[in-house]
């Protein structure tokens, strides 16, 4: 880290999305100059297996030193699945929770992880650790494994273990719990009035159980009134540095959810939110769509670090933690010419059939 400039240190904490037509030359140059921590890909960026493999090989080639970039994706299953066939088609996590076979959950995640690795991904933003206690929740619902914390813990642990077996970093989300909200944080700021006792028993339980096992945890843009009545979790030192770090003992990488979501962007703006998230204890900030906001956040982080020694120290800590973890998840060499054959060798059909057969007699939990 000692060889990095302030601008490079600031860039290491940013992971960026890009438009459907691919990353711009300016964004690629930001990565080549060491001023970007990686990329997140969405369905708009993912076409045929060969095109995906070629694009991902290009993105990884932008890493300026021996530390790989993050190449990440949301591939939970159900309605949150960016990659289509021939990648394993998983049902919503609720189905796996209903089957209640952690062995099957782990096997499915292992096959999925091997396929993601073949494409060059090294991070999957899964599993969901939210407990689905609100049937009217517009954003979580069947993305959760279950309506009780014990089942969520059991299957989230298995899912993360399966990804780890394939050398894919997992990321538990959305801390400290998005399962009981009535509002979609993509559109507005959800608020939860629950007491700390209730939060400890339900929302926090999966995170507490897995805090010392997961490499990454993602925050939620939810305001928890009994803990911090002013700032959503992503921007709250009381929640991230206080509860996640000190109380639960999490030492891995803390990710913000997408800072372009209206729950934070409408009040703070993306650039200010990036600074507040790092100050609160996040190590990596996601800016998922608009390149101009990536550059604005980078400039804001750099400026703040150049004028605030305490913030510069926190930024250095975040960048160092990111680089240390990324070094453990170097992707295999991507062979675009052989990608279809390699993907076909992963037996998706067997797993899909096992899930279909088991789910026919399962009880939703």
Lowest mean pLDDT among 67-81, 147-161, 178-192: 178-192
Model pLDDT, residue 155: 98
Q: Where does the pLDDT of residue 334 fall: very low under 50, low under 70, confident under 90, or very high at 90 and above?
A: confident
More confident residue, 20 or 365: 20
HSE toward the beta carbon, residue 136, CA cutoff 13 A: 3
Position 15 scores a pLDDT of 98
287 pLDDT band, cuts 50/70/90, is very high
**DSSP SS3 for 174:** strand
Position 184 confidence tier, pLDDT thresholds 50, 70, 90? confident
Number of domains making up the chain: 1
Q: What is the mean pLDDT of residues 149-176?
A: 98
Which is it for the CA torsion 38, 74, 119, 111, positive or negative? Answer: positive
For the question of residue 74 being annotated catalytic, the response is: no
pLDDT of residue 333: 84
Annotated catalytic residue: which of 74, 132, 142, 257? 257
What pLDDT does residue 331 have? Answer: 84
Domain extent at residue 312: 23-358
pLDDT at 151 (0 to 100): 98
Each residue's pLDDT tens digit, 89-143: 999 999 999 999 999 999 999 999 999 999 999 999 999 999 999 988 989 999 9
Helix, strand, or coil (residue 39): strand
Residue 63 has pLDDT above 90, yes or no: yes
Decide if 99 is inside a domain.
yes
Residue 363 lies in a domain: no
- Tally: H helices and E strands in the chain: 14, 12
What mean pLDDT is predicted for residues 339-358? 91
Is 12 within 8 Å of 69 (Cβ atoms)? no
Between 309-326 and 270-280, two packed helices, what is the crossing angle to 10 degrees? 80
User: Is residue 318 predicted with pLDDT exceeding 60?
Assistant: yes
Active site includes 316? no
pLDDT at position 332: 82
Amino acid 335: pLDDT: 84
User: 16 lies in a domain?
Assistant: no
Handedness of CA 243, 246, 252, 255 (dihedral sign): positive
pLDDT band with cut points at 50, 70 and 90 for residue 340? confident
187-196 residue pLDDT tens: 999 999 999 9
Q: Which two tokens stand for residue 3?
A: 């060889």
Q: Taking a C-beta distance cutoff of 8 angstroms, is the pair 179, 146 a contact?
A: no
Q: Rounded mean pLDDT of the chain? A: 95
DSSP assignment of 243-257 equals IIIIIT---SEEEEE
3-state secondary structure of 171: strand
Q: Which of 186, 290, 303, 308 is catalytic?
A: 186
State mean pLDDT over 295-317: 98
pLDDT band at 1 (very low <50, low <70, confident <90, very high): low
In the chain, the percentage of residues whose pLDDT exceeds 70 is 99
| CATH number of the structural domain spanning residue 269 | 3.20.20.300
From residue 205, how far is each of 120, 152, 194 by CA, in Å?
Answer: 33, 9, 14
* Tens digits of residue pLDDT in 192-246: 999 999 999 999 999 999 999 999 999 999 999 999 999 999 999 999 999 999 9
Q: Assess contact for 176 and 241: CB atoms under 8 A.
A: no
Instruction: Quick: pLDDT tens for 239-251.
Output: 999 999 999 999 9
**pLDDT at residue 79 is higher than 60:** yes
Provide the pLDDT for residue 182. 85
- Supply the pTM of this predicted model: 0.96
> Is residue 364's pLDDT more than 80?
no
How does DSSP classify residue 337? Answer: G
DSSP conformation letters of 89-133: ----HHHHHHHT-HHHHHHHHHHHHHHHHHHT--EE---B-----
Specify the pLDDT at position 363.
57
């Amino acid at each position: 880290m000692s060889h990095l400039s302030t601008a490079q240190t600031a860039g290491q904490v940013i992971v960026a999305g890009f438009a459907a037509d691919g990353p711009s030359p300016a964004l690629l140059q930001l990565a080549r100059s060491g001023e970007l921590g990686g990329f997140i890909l969405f369905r708009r960026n993912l076409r045929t297996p060969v095109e995906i493999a070629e694009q991902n090989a290009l993105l990884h080639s932008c890493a300026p030193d021996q530390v790989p970039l993050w190449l990440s994706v949301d591939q939970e299953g159900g309605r949150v699945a960016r990659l289509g066939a021939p990648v394993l088609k998983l049902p919503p996590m609720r189905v796996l929770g209903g089957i209640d076979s952690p062995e099957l959950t782990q096997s499915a995640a292992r096959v999925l992880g091997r396929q993601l690795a073949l494409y060059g991904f090294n991070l999957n933003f899964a599993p969901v650790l939210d407990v689905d206690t609100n049937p009217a929740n517009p954003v979580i619902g069947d993305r959760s494994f279950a309506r009780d914390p014990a089942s969520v813990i059991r299957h989230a642990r298995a899912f993360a273990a399966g990804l780890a077996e394939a050398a894919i970093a997992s990321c538990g989300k959305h801390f400290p719990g998005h399962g009981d909200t009535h509002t979609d944080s993509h559109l507005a700021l959800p608020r939860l009035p629950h007491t700390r006792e209730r939060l400890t028993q339900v929302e926090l339980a999966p995170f507490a159980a897995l805090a010392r096992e997961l490499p990454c945890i993602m925050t939620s843009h939810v305001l928890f009134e009994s803990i911090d009545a002013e700032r959503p979790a992503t921007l709250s030192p009381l929640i991230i540095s206080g509860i996640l770090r000190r109380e639960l003992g999490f030492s891995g990488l803390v990710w913000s959810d997408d800072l372009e979501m209206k729950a934070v962007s409408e009040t703070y703006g993306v650039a200010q939110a990036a600074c507040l998230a790092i100050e609160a204890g996040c190590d990596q900030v996601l800016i998922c769509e608009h390149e101009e906001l990536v550059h604005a956040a980078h400039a804001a982080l750099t400026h703040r670090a150049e004028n605030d020694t305490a913030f510069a120290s926190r930024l250095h800590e975040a960048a160092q933690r990111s680089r240390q973890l990324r070094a453990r998840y170097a992707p295999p060499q991507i062979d675009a010419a052989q990608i279809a054959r390699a993907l076909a060798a992963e037996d998706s059909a067997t797993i899909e059939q096992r899930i279909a057969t088991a789910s026919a007699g399962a009880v939703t939990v």
